[in-house]
């Protein structure tokens, strides 16, 4: 199925980049695991880059090759008609959502904060009363 260029573009683009950034974060963590597995041949310094530090074969594998493969795979998955249709439907539904204005959000936040404080007081009072009750009960069973 052919899609219009702007159809679902924001949802597909956001999903792609968020998933790809998650993969890049995982690859950066995986780099340290791979450093522990490999021998001295894989750890030899090839060159230095300011943000990456010493570039070794492990760095090339985990921070360049794996994210590039992941970008290709994610792009292919999001290009399938079923996935693209789903993301287009998500974007259409999000356009129908009534997003609150700042005063509405501030008022709702105030209500939530007040309710949490009331509930916190209720639970703290119940905890205090039950604590005193069980201290009295416990002291009855203690020998004098």
> How many Cα atoms within 13 Å fall on the side-chain side of residue 24?
9
Q: What is the per-residue pLDDT across 80-131, written as a single tens digit (0 to 9) for each?
A: 888 888 888 888 888 899 989 999 999 999 999 999 999 999 999 999 999 9
The helix/strand/coil state of 5 is coil
Q: Which residue has the higher pLDDT, 37 or 26?
A: 26
Q: What is the per-residue pLDDT across 34-78, written as a single tens digit (0 to 9) for each?
A: 777 666 656 666 666 676 666 677 777 777 888 999 999 998 988
The reported pLDDT for the residue numbered 28 is 82
Instruction: Give the pair of three-digit tokens for residue 36.
Output: 């522990």
The helix/strand/coil state of 54 is strand
- Averaged pLDDT, 27-32: 80
The C-alpha angle with vertex 43 and arms to 41 and 44, in degrees rounded to 5, equals 75
The reported pTM is 0.54
Q: Which residue has the higher pLDDT, 19 or 10?
A: 19
The reported pLDDT for the residue numbered 66 is 87
Sign of CA dihedral 63, 64, 67, 69: negative
């Amino acid at each position: 199925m052919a899609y219009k260029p702007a159809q679902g573009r924001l949802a597909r683009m956001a999903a792609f980049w968020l998933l790809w950034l998650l993969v890049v974060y995982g690859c950066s963590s995986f780099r340290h695991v791979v450093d522990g597995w490999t021998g001295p041949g894989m750890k030899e310094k090839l060159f230095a880059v300011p943000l990456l530090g010493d570039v070794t074969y492990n760095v090339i594998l985990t921070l360049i090759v794996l994210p590039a493969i992941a970008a290709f795979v994610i792009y292919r998955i999001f290009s399938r008609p079923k996935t693209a249709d789903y993301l287009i439907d998500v974007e259409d539904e999000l356009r129908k959502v009534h997003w609150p204005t700042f005063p509405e959000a501030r008022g709702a936040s105030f209500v939530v904060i007040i309710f949490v404080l009331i509930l916190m007081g209720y639970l703290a009072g119940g905890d205090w009363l039950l604590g005193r009750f069980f201290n009295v009960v416990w002291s009855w069973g203690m020998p004098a």
